[in-house]
Amino acid sequence: MGTNGTPPTGRRAAVVAGLRTPFVKAGTDFRDLSAVDLGAAVVNELVARSGIPPKEFDSLVFGQVIPSPTVTLIGREMVLRTQLPRSVEAHTVSRACATSIQATTDAADQIRLGHSDCAIAGGAESISDAPIFASRTLAQALVELSRAKGLGDRLRILSRLRPKDFAPVPPALKEPTTGLTMGESAEQMAQKNGISREAQDEFAWRSHQRAAGAWETGKFAAEVMSVPLPPRYDRSSARDNIVRKDTTVEALAQLRPVFDRRYGTITAGNASPLTDGAAALVVTSEERARALGLVPLGFVRAYAYAALDPRDQLLQGPAYAAPVALDRAGLRLADMDLVDMHEAFAAQVLSNLKAFASRAFAEKELGRAQPLGEVDPAKLNVNGGSIALGHPFAATGARMILQTLRELERRKGQYALLTVCAAGALGAALVLERE
């Protein structure tokens, strides 16, 4: 990639269409649907709405962060369960919360290389349908039982089991190397970076205000499909159900901290909630878009992924990735018309923003003389973010790309920076452009 954003092959990857399901709180509207169901619904509808003949598609990249043990290759399922021709090659990706950023940059790279001309990129997540595991002791006993020689053997194996061995084990949002949950890690960041509870609640309130405003003014109407709901399919989910128009800073201040009950600052109100949903984009070569008579929503100009030590500030990845992505784009933060940052926690976004503006961080952590700079609040997450809209892990990146490109169009802007923090202390940054 050259520093003016032109790929060496001269081919640009255009995002020509996108769609998402409503994002709903886990255990509510999509309780009886799986991630594969949600993904297939959005891919099918996206293909239909795009007006692109299905035979034009040649590849698909899709992600799911907490995969189902029974459907391990969601990417290929998105082809087999939709109207796409069976000849569309597909693969599955995961980069934790940046999964559909990864799906999009993979698709864009294949297009830039000339290996693909018309692709789908996206992700789906169902926390309602997350796998529940048996304890290790129970699992081992079941394996031994299957090999047991006689009744005596069976009784000996069963007699080892205690009631606690039968307790189901849910997947944990824990960092394996530190043993801390995302929330506990974000709590540490709030303390280290001096992010107050008030600042977090104010940020969360704004996320709700802006997301509710975007719904009210019809901004989301064309990017959110309605999903018929089982078992009778006589009801549909048509809107996000986490956004609270009427929440106030005072109401948020009343909520009790969840991850550090005594001294903590993170609550259900200033964290992203556990969410079900799916989102997908159509990514094509510029030439193919033109040949199909499509006007691109925008182009992938540059991107960067970065990583730090998970024992340090787990969700600070965006502060490492953003300067590299902007360098690769040949642009500065000041050139951006919009900045969209994934809101895992208000404390995390506010920590990332502090690092963006800090000369000490730039010198010590990045070896740069100048900090990235201050983000203009009027350009940041202007239609709300993951705190208000929800965060179906693998779908969030595609949601952000679609939402940002459509807003860029409304504002007749040219450039946008997107960032996502992710488990494993990873960070993603993407620079999008309109012609």
Residue 1 vs 66, nearer CB to ligand COA: 66
Residue 269 vs 413, nearer CB to ligand COA: 269
The DSSP secondary structure of 188-225, one letter per residue, reads HHHHHHT--HHHHHHHHHHHHHHHHHHHHTTTTTTTB-
156's enclosing H/E stretch is helix 151-159
Q: Cβ distance 91 to 79 under 8 Å?
A: no
Stretch that binds ligand COA, among 51-59, 151-159, 250-258, 357-365 (CB under 6 A): 250-258
Locate 353 and state its tokens. Answer: 């923003």
The reply on whether position 350 binds ligand COA by CB under 6 A is: no
The reply on whether position 247 binds ligand COA by CB under 6 A is: yes
Active site residue 118: no
Residue 379 vs 391, nearer CB to ligand COA: 391
Residue with tokens 């993951």: 386
Q: Which of 92, 272, 352, 419 binds ligand COA (CB under 6 A)?
A: 272
Cα(251)–Cα(270) distance, integer angstroms = 11
Cα(38)–Cα(237) distance, integer angstroms = 12
Rounded to 10°, the helix 346-357/317-329 angle is 50
Residue 206 vs 208, nearer CB to ligand COA: 208
The reply on whether position 255 binds ligand COA by CB under 6 A is: yes
Q: Which of 268, 291, 295, 334 binds ligand COA (CB under 6 A)?
A: 268
Stretch that binds ligand COA, among 13-21, 117-125, 212-220, 272-280 (CB under 6 A): 272-280
Residue 27 vs 131, nearer CB to ligand COA: 27
The reply on whether position 65 binds ligand COA by CB under 6 A is: no
Quote the Cα angle for 35-431-349, to 5°: 70
The reply on whether position 274 binds ligand COA by CB under 6 A is: yes
Cα(195)–Cα(183) distance, integer angstroms = 14
Residue 13 to residues 203, 238, 281, 306, 418, Cα–Cα distance (Å):
34, 30, 12, 22, 17
Stretch that binds ligand COA, among 101-109, 244-252, 285-293, 349-357 (CB under 6 A): 244-252
Stretch that binds ligand COA, among 132-140, 222-230, 251-259, 290-298 (CB under 6 A): 251-259
Q: Which of 112, 244, 328, 434 binds ligand COA (CB under 6 A)?
A: 244
> Which amino acid belongs to residue 362?
A
Q: Which of 93, 107, 182, 362 binds ligand COA (CB under 6 A)?
A: 182
The reply on whether position 66 binds ligand COA by CB under 6 A is: no
Closest CA to 340 of 421, 248, 240: 421
Phi-psi category of residue 371: left, alpha or beta, with phi > 0 → left and psi -120 to 50 → alpha: beta
Helices (H), 256-345: 286-291, 317-329
Q: Which of 1, 48, 71, 258 binds ligand COA (CB under 6 A)?
A: 258
Cα(278)–Cα(390) distance, integer angstroms = 11
Residue 183 vs 385, nearer CB to ligand COA: 183
Binders in 389-418 for ligand COA, by CB under 6 A: 391
b or e along 292-321 (b: 16 or more beta carbons within 10 Å of the residue's beta carbon)? bebebbbbbbbbbbbebebeebbbbbbbbb
**Count of residues engaged in binding ligand COA, rule: CB under 6 A:** 19
Binders in 288-347 for ligand COA, by CB under 6 A: 344
The reply on whether position 271 binds ligand COA by CB under 6 A is: yes
Q: Cβ distance 125 to 66 under 8 Å?
A: yes
Shortest distance (Å) from residue 427 CB to ligand COA: 12
The reply on whether position 183 binds ligand COA by CB under 6 A is: yes
Stretch that binds ligand COA, among 38-46, 104-112, 269-277, 355-363 (CB under 6 A): 269-277
Q: Cβ distance 121 to 103 under 8 Å?
A: yes
Rounded to 10°, the helix 346-357/182-193 angle is 40
Active site residue 342: no
Stretch that binds ligand COA, among 98-106, 120-128, 132-140, 267-275 (CB under 6 A): 267-275
Residue 7 vs 273, nearer CB to ligand COA: 273
> Which among 97, 118, 208, 342 is annotated as catalytic?
97
Report, as residue numbers or ranges, the catalytic residues.
97, 391, 421
Q: Which residues bind ligand COA (CB under 6 A)?
A: 97, 173, 182-183, 208, 244, 247, 251-252, 255, 258, 268-269, 271-274, 344, 391
